[in-house]
Chain A
Amino acid sequence: MPIVNINVNGKLVSAEVEGRTLLVQFLRENLRLTGTHVGCDTSQCGACVVHVDGKSVKACTMLAVMADACEVTTIEGLANNGSMHPMQQAFMDNHGLQCGFCTPGMVMTALDIVNRNGNDLDDSTVRKELEGNICRCTGYHNIVKSVKAGAKTMGE
């Protein structure tokens, strides 16, 4: 079986995996990082979004072996010394989550949005950029608000 060396949330992880092991399985089952979720099997819901080398990817649509020698950041890797990342805080402050299942993917996508679009975001940009993340609870209203607020705080 192939061996992978992946830097996950700042820690180097070495493991033997089957070729078919998805990155999300590796994170959830091997590393017990269960914050990354699986909500569909057609790469659409976005509950599994993590960052690989700084870019958002759907961890359900990438093999663990493809992340060999990469840096992976999951939702568990955002908080710093126990205090939440500004984007996490923005979701809390703006009631951007209800059941919490889509939330890790939403936050990881939100950070990717900020990385590419900057800190001053308008509604239509955020809504378009959230195309790959489905939420059934919030109606998106407060997610959009959260992403904008988080982006702003990140720029301060």
Chain B
Amino acid sequence: MYDFLYHKVNSVDDAVAAMGNADDGKFVAGGQTMLPTMKHRLASPSDVIDLGGVSDLVGIANEGDALVIGAMTTHAAVAASAEVQSAIPALAKLAGNIGDPAVRNRGTLGGSIANNDPAADYPAAVIALGATVKTNKREITGDDFFTGMFETALEEDELITAVSFPIPMTAAYIKFENPASRYAIVGVFIAKTVDGNRVAITGATPCAYRGMKFEKVLNEDFSSNACDAVEVSVDRMNSDIHASAEYRAHLVKVMVKRAVDACG
């Protein structure tokens, strides 16, 4: 790892100020992706601004029609939260299956979605639940937040403060894991809401996306059999040693069907 200036901050304002003063600063949340990247000398920020002390960013609140989860809330906290388990159990399950127990004790919601790894789990939930990403500057809808592989709508000095997840009627997340990294080769989040069904798929393509074709058939007939009618295009799928594009396209449909069944 290259050395850097370390800043421990206690507030969002201090964090943004520190970033403003840095040549090439980076916010670090739990550091579970960023630190390995830096260890391999693949990133060399001049300044690291540690959000670990910003207590305002931690917490889970049920606001009636939505769960608002602070950006620095760990995966373990989300998974163990009675609030999340009762309001959106699929979200608790998703968080409880990211990485491993030790990673979940450090990794955070904000860090995960800001990084937007194509194989991360949270983006599927943010998109499928129609969540709103709250930053120090504005609110961004889930559909607009993820813009490409490892890219988001966030600006340099913009910091995620919380994510507001509307509470669905029911939801499910099914993940097909990479046998080595345990990241999602394909992860499918389905939310049944009063406004219709939303399907989001992660892992399969460079950036998590909404499965509009699945939504369409499921809005007519919410059954796994209905999904058979959907053609998943192989063209846009990721392809690597663990899963070819063809296999991923196949898995997308299988996982969607399993998520539908899991919605009950």
Contact = CB atoms under 8 A, between A and B. Distances in A.
Interface string B65-101: 0000000000010001000000000000000000111
B139 interface: no
B39 to A, nearest CB: 6
By size class, the interface of chain A is: 20 to 34
Interface in B161-198: 181-182
Nearest to A19: B6
Interface string A22-59: 10000000000000000001111010010010011110
Interface residues of B, number: 28
A84 interface: no
A92 interface: no
B100 A61 contact: no
Contacts of A20: 1-4, 38
A113 interface: yes
Contacts of B99: 43, 132
Given A20-B2, A57-B106, A46 B100 contact: yes
Contacts of B40: 41
A123 interface: no
Interface of A: 2, 18-20, 22, 41-44, 46, 49, 52, 55-58, 60-63, 65-66, 68, 109, 112-113, 116, 129, 131-133
Interface of B: 1-6, 8, 31-32, 35-36, 38-40, 48, 50, 52, 76, 80, 99-103, 105-106, 181-182
10 contacts: A19-B4, A20-B3, A41-B40, A43-B36, A55-B105, A58-B103, A61-B35, A61-B106, A66-B50, A68-B8
